[in-house]
Structure 1
């Protein structure tokens, strides 16, 4: 049964490598997923061999398990951190992997999953140490990944006009939590059996865990695209928006004084009222930056100071205003309230009802009765 599960997981991981290495448009997150799938494919493929890898390759396959935590962290970082790039200092995350490889290359290696009689070998003590550190590694990277997601979620109202499954990363919280539960359960079982030597029946669920985890990551990873749009350089902006008027271009470069802030605030309001970009449920701050040809920092400053609210609240105020106008317009009588909400840029019934009541003090149904 364990061999069958390993075969399924191995094939799945190869499929994942194909999917994420060719997915377009490309993004750094897909690179990490591709490497992740490769690590799992190597581990599961090695478990299917009729011999121990350490017989031919002294470090064995076990050290690559120390890559799972860092790859999880880098994948979360590539989604939750805007313009994330892998810097040389971040390669320090791979030190535990390298240390285990080097150490196992210098000793008489004992297979991690070797038969019980090998536990009498003095070098088996190192396997206990490796596994102890592996458990710590998984827990630490789980906390680091979760912390990144929670910090990202706090920034959503500053950049996005709607909460969605793509930008909240709710699925990733569930996945990394499942990752923690499955792998810690397996590692702890091994720890009790082989480190504490309590004599529990030898049993491992690692192949099943990796197979299940691979399936989940492929399913959700295929549907998760880049969250943040790359901010365009000024030269690119000028090239694409050469037709922009001087009222827009004057905000590029120098810091804003009070008069310029007031003017830019007026420009923002004119833009929102005339273009109505908030009707697009995926509208975000970068789209407004590109349209107005102004730096994101300045635009955020104007919205926060002049409007005294964040981007999310400003966009949804306009959406509520749009809903109210359409509810009073006979042209939209054939639409339900929810249909009008979707037409106005909202992306969920729950969000619409909550925001509408916050803005008007009434539910949509109560408001309709006042018309």
Structure 2
């Protein structure tokens, strides 16, 4: 954004806001990328005590620009105006107490490139050994690996382009390096939008690479318990390493009925069964072959049908039945009930009464 406003935006106000203030965040891109890739490959969100070392460059840079933070905004406007008037002056403007602008320009993309290369190594090593791991669903494994490869390669090409711009800006002059960077801004923006939008199109990305750790007690319990039909689309694929967990989820939902809580979420299941949320989501979406929202709605409607088929229909209003079943509003209950049963609760009650008479 700072580059854009310096070359194309021509706004001293916006350049003064974006110039230098957010540079510590760029030094966090590498560590956060590493934590994401490593956590996905190892199926964990935990950090170790040595991970704090990855934050040191960003912390040093943040401390170094504290004097700039406290400069009057009018002074920052003057700096921004000078850069817009002659972008070549950006090399001579030092806003960090510890090192020059040239060092800062080089350090940020170089460090990010180092992290990207290291993530490539992690992905390669994981790809060569995980194919024989029977505790990982193979379909999800290859899906996640492909996603990580696309993510890393996209970032790799973007950072390489930024390095070329940085090199030309430092060793030739900024007006040469930055003036032809507009296509890169467009490419980067499109790439980031596509990567973010991919999470909506392919929610399987969020499951990562789940690795099931099965204890002897869990296996016996899974085999002994009754299979509960959560939905019409539920699968009986017991070869999946997470099949036993999916059965545990079904048993928990049937026994505890947590879906009656209007605020019921995936985290409730994860906390109750003491498993990661991505494992729960994988079981619901891939093994049970349904969405969590659909599963929750179907369970609530099934409970409402049970209430409406019994004696409670005489002592509860429709709103009361909706609340008892976990719905927040009468309208949401009506819509979900009709989508599932093909009739409204009122019509259902009328049919039940007709059967009795």
Q: TM-score, normalised by structure 1?
A: 0.46
Q: Name which structure has the greater RCO, CA cutoff 8 Å, separation 6+.
A: 1
The TM-score with structure 2 as length reference comes to 0.48
